[in-house]
Structure formats: C-alpha cells, structure tokens
Structure 1
C-alpha cells in the first residue's frame, strides 16, 4: 500500500485528450504518440495489436497487489488484528478506486434500466496470473462490486491515514459518494459525501482549498510565476493540501509511453467560460513550450506537470453541490459552489446570478461549467461528457475537437455517441477470446 505505483501514474489517462474542453495545436501536437492522436480524434481503434496500454497494465497490476493483500494479510504472522484489518480495508478500497477507473474507460455510463445487461469489465478477486477464464460481466455487477468493497472497507479504515497517498475512511466515503453520483443516486451520494466532510473535520491537519486571492497575491506561496508556471500543486505532486486521497498522473511532458497534455490548448468554448478576474487563468500561458506565442489568443495550461486524480477537495464541493441541486436543495448547492469560487477569484465575482441560483436545471448546468473551469485540461471533462450523455438535464449535446494546423486551417472532429466508450485493447481480446468487444 506504500508502493509509489499505487499513487503515482507516470503516464496520462486517455481522458486528458478525449475531453471536449481541449483543442490541439499541430505545432506541438504532431509529436504526440499515435494513440494520443487517435484518442483526440475519437477513433474506434486507438490501440495497435502489439500495444500494452499503460492505463490498463498499471491499473491491473495494482488490482493484483490489492487482491494479494486482501486475501492474505489476515493470515500473516505478525502485526495486530487491527493492523491487519486496516490493511485489508485499504486493499479493498484501493481495488474499488481502480475498478472505478476501468469501468469508466471500457464500459457504458451507468443507466439503471440497462446496467444489468450492458457489458462491463471483469470482476477479478484473485491474485492469479495464470487465469484466463474471465467474463466481462455487466456494468451493474462491477458497480455492485465497487460498492461492496467500499462498504466492507470503511469500518476498518483509519479516519485519517499517515499520509494522503494511503487510503483513509474519509477518502473511501468520498469515493463512494462519487460512485453514487455516477449512478444517478443523489440521496445516497449526499450521505457519503457528508460523511467524508465529517471525517475530514476530525483530522489533525485537514485538507483544505488554497485561496488563490492569497497565494497569487504579492508574496503569495504560488509565486514567482516562472517559465513553468506558478508553484501550485499541478507542478508540485508532494503538495497534498487539497487532497483527501492523493493520486497523480502525468499531465504534460509525458515520458513517451503514455498520453499527455502536450500540444493541447483550451477549446474556445471552455476559454469563454472564464471571466477575466478568474485567478485560475494565471495557470495558463499564451505561449508554447518553445516560447512562441500561440495564435488566435488561445491558451494552454502550462502549470500541469501532474494531474491530481484521487479524492480532491474541489471536486468534493462540486459533487456535493450537484447532488444538493438534484435533490432541490438549491441554497445548499449554491453555498458549496460559491465557497469554491470564493477561493478562485475575488469575492465580488464569486456569486452566482439569482436567475441561475433559483433554477434547478440551470444550476446543475452551471455546476458542470464550474467543473470545466476548475479541472480544465485535466481529464475530468471526459467523465462529465459520459454522464451528460445519459442525463436529461443535458439533451442533444454535441462534442467536437479542433486541430489547429500550422497552415492556419482547422480539422474538426465530431464525437460519435458510441465512442463515449473505448474499445477493448487488442491485447485484452487476444488473451480473452470469449470477450465481446465494444461497438
């Protein structure tokens, strides 16, 4: 559970390039991996037969470690019963997080009416590399398994662990709340999100939001802003102030073995969501890594060496706001969103307009837009697009990518609905010939 492989993913997840919050500049994007380019175009076949995708291989290796721990730690010869139960609980909760990543890459978004028949991802509970008799199961079976693991883990997890890279009860409660959000079950989600905030309140040093009004002001801790951007968590993975559970993936400057944000800029639509006073804009540059100015007034998130993908305070506030809005607690939802916004811009600009604050559907849409602003170019938008596709609050949404050519022309790619689900990598189909691939 201390392994760096469990919390530091030295590659970028596909969502980094598949969200419609980004566009691409050929000047730098032309050097990206072929798989990255295919993902950006939302092609059906992004993997070659010989590819062993890092996002799959790494997640599965960690599932093996979790299965090994969960099944054997209770029979270990040393340690107390409490220590053993806590380690088993960590393994179960980590396994739930890993499976949650997989089901949101390789299966359809959760829809209650079809989840019992929609193909899922194999539920693997044994640490046995010789097995090849897996079935894909269903989306419902995987979500049931994730929920079961988290419910089994929570009672035995420490409320606060020694460090945020280790799973805690607070983190597991927050993750379970997020799972229920993805399932469209706001009442259940709210219960666990509230449990998460309650558990955090008892931490000796509780995670909290940075106030950009302070950190980006004269003498602030994010300064000076250098060629690589401000000194905020996106450039400093050891800075876990905003983490309940710290998990990082490569943001920019990939090692060459995974996707990254290199060559990406904000889409015009996402850039237009920011007001000029939004201090999050200081995380962006109007220049390429070479120093050349990006044409068209476009900007890229240059302060993005790392992306935090665990359980983050900013997302907890937005998830809780969303479920409160869905449960028609509009004042409660507004309070959570405005609290986050007050840490990202001057207080005078953080308030939500009354017409939006008093309209349930408009407020939900605003919360999704706030997610775009907070997590732009970090991969979160991909999951949001998947959820939007099965949410009546967002009818007939079209998603597009633009590649800005060095010649001044543009290539436009439009997402087909079936590509909200990635096809299974050939290496997985080759070793499991009974698997039915996604359309």
Structure 2
C-alpha cells in the first residue's frame, strides 16, 4: 500500500474512533511510561497518533460551530438564535468567565495541543525502519502545524495564554500550574512551529485531493503564516505579502472556484480549498447543520441557532451582492417568534445556509480551515498597507468579480482598507472570520456601538457597550480555580 493510502486510511480509522472517545477537557491524568512506550513504536502507530491529532478538527465543538459564535455571533454578522443563555452572552457582548462555552472551547483547543505535543515528542524516538526519516519529518511538521493552528485560536481569543509544548504526564501542581505567556511569546511559538512545518511539508501528498485537503501542506503552513503576520499586534505586512504570494504561486495549483461550488456539497476538496475538515456523513458526521437549517430541511420545528443579522442582510443588499447572499442565508417562514426578524409566529426569517447538506441528522458539510480567497484578500490588505493601493484594488477585484461585482471604487489607502474589510465580511460570513477582522482593522468598537438592532419583542434598542477590553474573551473561571497562576483579562 502506498504512503498516500496509508495516510488516508489511518486518518479515517482514527477519526472514527476518536469521534466517540475524545474528551472535551484537558486530560491531566498521569500517562504511564509503559503505555506511552507501547503506543509509539511502529510506523503504523505513528500515523495513527497523527490521525488522532487531526481529530480535533472534526470532534471539538470549537471547530464544529463554536468558532462561529466566537466570531460571527459576537460581531455584527449573526444573532445567537436558539435558546442557550451562554450563546446569548456572545450575542450581547456580556460574556462571563463562568460561560460554559468559554471553558469548553479553551479545553478543546488545549486538548488538541496535547495530542500534537505527544506526536512531536514521541515520533523522533521511533526506530521502525519502515518509517523513513523524510516521513518522520513530515509527521512532526504536520503536528507542529496543528499546534500552531490551535494556539492561533487561543491567542486571538484570549490574548496571552499558557505555552505548553510538551505532553502533560503529571498532575503535580508545580508542573501544570503554568502562568500565561505574553502575546508576543505565543505568536513567536506559532511562527516557529509554522516555519518548521513549511520547511518539512510537501506541496501535495500526490494527486488525491481528499488527502491533500485533509493534511497540513506547505501551502497550509504559508497561508496560516500570512494570517498570523496580519493578526499579531506587531503585524508585518511585508511578510504577509511574501507568504500570500507563496500560496498563490504554489505548485499545488490553488485556484478560485464558483462561489456556489464552495458550499453545495458536491465540490468538497476543491482547488480553492487549502485545508478543510473531513466529514463523511456517517462515521465522521457533522451534527451542527441540524441545529442551523430551516424546518423544510430538518423536518423539525424547534428554534434554530445562528440567525443571520439584519445588518448583514443589508450589507449584501447595499453591495448588490446577490451571489454571496443567496449562498449565505435562506429565508423561510419560522414557526416561532424571532426577536429581531418577526415578533409573530410564521414570520420570514433567514437561516444560515453555508452548511446545508443534511441526511438523517448527519452532514458532510464542513468549514474551510483555510481557503484561497482568504489569502488573496490578505494580499490585498498587505499591498494597501504597504502603499500599493492600486495593486490592492486589482487583488480585491479578483474576489469581487467572482461575486458578479464591479471594480472597487476606493482610491485612497483609508478607503481601500475599509473596502477590503467590508469585502471580507461578505465573502466569509458564517466562516468564523468577522471578529478577527474587526479587531485587526481597529473597528470593533466603532462597528458594534453603531449597530441599530431593535428587539421587536421589547421594542428596545440593543446596547452592546463595546469596549477595548471586550476584544478578548475572559479566562475561564474553572481554569483559574484549577491553576492559581492564571490571571484574568482586564474588564472581567
């Protein structure tokens, strides 16, 4: 069997097992030497350990749908919908340190880091001759990419966090009560991991897209580096441009596809995709669409979650963007009262529509972890920041043209930056990007405090009271109780 198919079948097998067994909090139970030594001795075990590390993308609530709450619901894109008070906190920007989703997502991400750390530490010790030095380096590179991806989510959402780069093998407080590292140190670790990964990873693992889009590649590492250098406080747009161009010109042949192909369920692992979660709808099924889609698709009449906002619908309409609006939201009569769209039952309400494929409550729909349009718009952002506003407009037009829109009209650097930010909103709504964009462009307070959202049930305008401190989430109180070394973020 070729390496390509070993990779695929190891990944599928481990994801199927891990989807059932994965814990939702950081497991701090001791790991015996005997268990560790017996588990990581062969090439097959090495591939299985790596597949288990990838499992976080398909098993954790954070990557299945919580990141949409963290970014889209917390912003001007969506309302919480549903009936979960913890989600309403995200919607209303009054998130507390005891919010169960804040703690769950923190735990999900550190659980992913724990699995990546185990791979990074144990794989170099394997002496199985069937595991080549090249493949060892690739496995470690993939695990470093995964660790970097998780830490990027942590630092964006919480700021400085504990840096854990070795597997947890003890419950001794002196070993596990790690204080928060600085934001700069976390980003430095992310950049180091991604640089190492880019050097070790191939452009592709062969001709099978279902493998190439499931695994970290050189293109994935470069794409994430472009995002990191744009998002970090001491951003470096020269490096953003360098890494964006590396992706755009990659031998992997990334290319834009029609916008509808991204979400119709028939074009997974397409040429625009750089990395995506791999749900097969059976053993590895995405359950979130059953909580999002309208009654006509789910055959259920209870209230669904993540409702597109009036402000988002207006943004599409103001731009004349019919193509992306129709792929992002689906209007339908809702057999419940919606406090923003309809104060009466059976009013016309929009539903999130990018994850729309559903069979027997399970779905193959997935979020794109990385896709080319993001990289192209990051390139436009970098060009504009570097004073090349006309060139930025050319890059921006590549994305607008696909949506049936014309050339951007912005001519000044300030206007172009705003045009790029707005374009990103329309392109990536319901893909967990909006909050990061608002923070990066320095517009979170302005945008959120300018919203004119009226609760139709109470007749009252929603006051978001957005402040600089609310750009970050609170450190989970459960973690602070467990680890006295953790300090809280300002404002909480």
TM-score by length of structure 1 reads 0.79
Report the equivalent of 2:192: 148
- Of Structure 1 and Structure 2, which has the larger fraction of its residues in helix? 2
Secondary structure in 2 aligned to 1:91? Answer: helix
Q: Map 1:250-399 to 2 at 5 A.
A: 252-254=289-291, 262-268=305-311, 271-274=314-317, 275-283=319-327, 284-288=329-333, 290=335, 294-295=341-342, 299-305=350-356, 308-345=367-404, 349-353=405-409, 356=410, 358-389=411-442, 397-399=446-448
Q: 1:251–1:307: 8 Å Cα contact kept in structure 2?
A: no
Between the aligned partners of 2:481 and 2:430, the Cα distance in structure 1 is 33
Residue 468 (structure 2) pairs with residue 424 (structure 1)? no
Higher relative CO (CA 8 A, sep ≥ 6), structure 1 or 2?
1
Structure 1 contact 7–165 (Cα < 8 Å) conserved: no
Q: Distance in 2 between matches of 1:297 and 1:373?
A: 21
- Aligned pair 1:7/2:63, yes or no? no
In structure 2, the residue matched to 1:179 is 228
In the alignment, is the contact (CA less than 8 A) between 1:251 and 1:378 conserved in 2? no
- Equivalent of residue 209 in structure 1, options 256, 262, 265: 256
Indicate which of 106, 129, 132 corresponds to 1:80: 132
Deviations 1:176-220 (A, max 9, x none): 111111132101111111112222xx12xx3432224xx5xxxxx
For residues 17-43 of structure 1, give each alpha carbon's deviation from its aligned partner in whole angstroms, at most 9, with x where no partner exists. 11122245xxxx2x3322111111111
The 1:325/1:47 distance shift into structure 2, 3 A limit, reads same
* Structure 1 counterpart of 2:155, from 89, 99, 103: 103
- 2:273 is the counterpart of 1:246: no
After superposition, give the CA deviation of every residue in 1:296-346 in whole Å (9 maximum; x if it has no partner): 98744333355625211111111111001111122321121111111122x
Q: Shift of residue 52 of structure 1? A: 7.6
**C-alpha displacement of 1:245:** 1.5
Moved more, 296-305 or 77-86: 296-305
Aligned twin of 2:244: 193
**Which secondary structure does the structure 1 equivalent of 2:249 belong to?**
helix
Judge conservation of contact 1:23–1:403 (CA < 8 Å) in 2.
Answer: no
CA RMSD in angstroms comes to 3.0
Residue 55 (structure 1) aligned to one of 105, 130, 145: 105
**CA 1:18–1:89 in structure 2 vs 1: closer, same or farther (change >3 Å)?**
same
> Is the Cα–Cα contact under 8 Å of residues 316 and 322 in structure 2 kept in the other structure?
no
Q: 1:402 to 1:299 in 2, by over 3 A?
A: farther
Deviation of residue 129 (structure 1)? 4.6
Name the residue aligned to 1:35.
86
144, 154, 164: which is aligned to 1:124? 164
Which of 239-248 and 322-331 deviates more?
239-248
Provide the aligned length of Structure 1 versus Structure 2. Answer: 386
- The 1:194–1:158 alpha-carbon spacing in structure 2 relative to 1, beyond 3 Å, is same
- The superposition leaves residues 370-427 of structure 1 with CA deviations (integer Å, 9 ceiling, x where unpaired) of 00111123331111122133xxxx5972414676546372440322221111101112
| Residue of structure 1 equivalent to 2:115 | 65
Deviations 1:350-378 (A, max 9, x none): 2112xx1x211111110000001111233
Separation in structure 2 between the aligned mates of residue 138 and residue 163 of structure 1, nearest angstrom: 34
| Offset, 1:285 | 2.0
Cα drift, residue 47 of structure 1: 2.8
Mapped partners of 1:102, 1:372: distance in 2: 22
TM-score, scaled to structure 2 = 0.71
Separation in 2 of the partners of 1:51 and 1:21?
A: 19
